[in-house]
Copies of this chain bind each other. A is one copy, B any other.
């Protein structure tokens, strides 16, 4: 891989929610047109208020539309919650926070899916309504729910576990059900990529759902692949990952533990300064806390330079 400028590298970023969206935002601001495709986890998709919710697709889409609240990372900045308040007022389901502007997305998506459109197609349409030009691809068009099997053997759809019961029940296992086919668009994008970036997302519930789709690993093994750690100083940047590493693998949470989970896949790995370890591939030790736009851009540039140096 040796394009003249890093902005010409054709990148496919594999992503889940907030962490993924932030790195994709940095890549979006650094890479030229046509050089970035996001392949996004849909294992968290679920139905709420009768609507199809795609939390990770929306986090990436709103971020690229410059609508994400910088700190919160989900939903739309300065959104209102009038519809949710009405559900509360009437004693109806209110455990998942859907904003009013956000709701427009779920309404449009649900109607289109109900008419038989694919998730890929409706995501493209939604992106157009928000003037997002980068392709955002759901990993699959079929339902592929991520199921959390708790220590007590309960099986909970991911969002119910994460939001409804606040990730309290200990995780014994993560299972994926349903569709195993990535879309043709995903396979094409992966096949055409100069570089695969595994975003700082939860490996178990954001990245594994993508990696375990038929044929994905086969393509990735032939591609330069770099990851960014979702762990800083032994703690997850966001979400329940720290506890999950402990509960699922019996390990102390660390950048290294996540890298070990991706065994054989990584050609390079970015970790927080001070989180370095003895690795079978080059490490980029830098700042990977990327809440601000500036930090996102800096990391994206460094990551692309680092990737170019790998071959």
How close is A104's CB to chain B, nearest CB, in angstroms?
4
Tally of this chain's copies: 2
How close is A166's CB to chain B, nearest CB, in angstroms?
24
The B-contacting residues of A in range 59-107, CB under 8 angstroms, are 79-80, 82-83, 85-87, 89-92, 100-101, 103-104, 107
List the B side residues contacting A92 at CB < 8 Å: 104, 108, 129
List the B side residues contacting A83 at CB < 8 Å: 82-83, 100-101, 103-104, 107
List the B side residues contacting A108 at CB < 8 Å: 49-50, 92
Give the distance in Å from the alpha carbon of A103 to the alpha carbon of B51 in the complex.
Answer: 13
Can you list 10 pairs linking A and B with CB atoms under 8 Å apart? A49-B111, A50-B110, A80-B80, A80-B82, A83-B100, A83-B104, A87-B104, A90-B130, A91-B129, A100-B100
Nearest 7 A/B pairs, CB to CB: A50-B111, A82-B100, A90-B129, A86-B104, A86-B101, A49-B107, A80-B82
Give the distance in Å from the alpha carbon of A101 to the alpha carbon of B86 in the complex.
Answer: 5
How close is A210's CB to chain B, nearest CB, in angstroms?
28
How close is A296's CB to chain B, nearest CB, in angstroms?
25
**A34 at interface, CB cutoff 8 A:** no
List the B side residues contacting A87 at CB < 8 Å: 104
Q: Is the CB of B86 within 8 A of A50?
A: no
The B-contacting residues of A in range 173-191, CB under 8 angstroms, are none
Binary contact track A108-140/B, C-beta < 8 Å → 1, others 0: 101100100000000000000110000000000
Give the distance in Å from the alpha carbon of A51 to the alpha carbon of B49 in the complex.
Answer: 11
Q: Is the CB of A90 within 8 A of B107?
A: no
List the B side residues contacting A111 at CB < 8 Å: 49-50
List the B side residues contacting A90 at CB < 8 Å: 104, 129-130
Q: Take A92-B129, A129-B91 as given contacts and tell me if A86 and B110 are in contact as well, using a CB distance cutoff of 8 Å.
A: no
How close is A87's CB to chain B, nearest CB, in angstroms?
6
Give the distance in Å from the alpha carbon of A101 to the alpha carbon of B103 in the complex.
Answer: 13
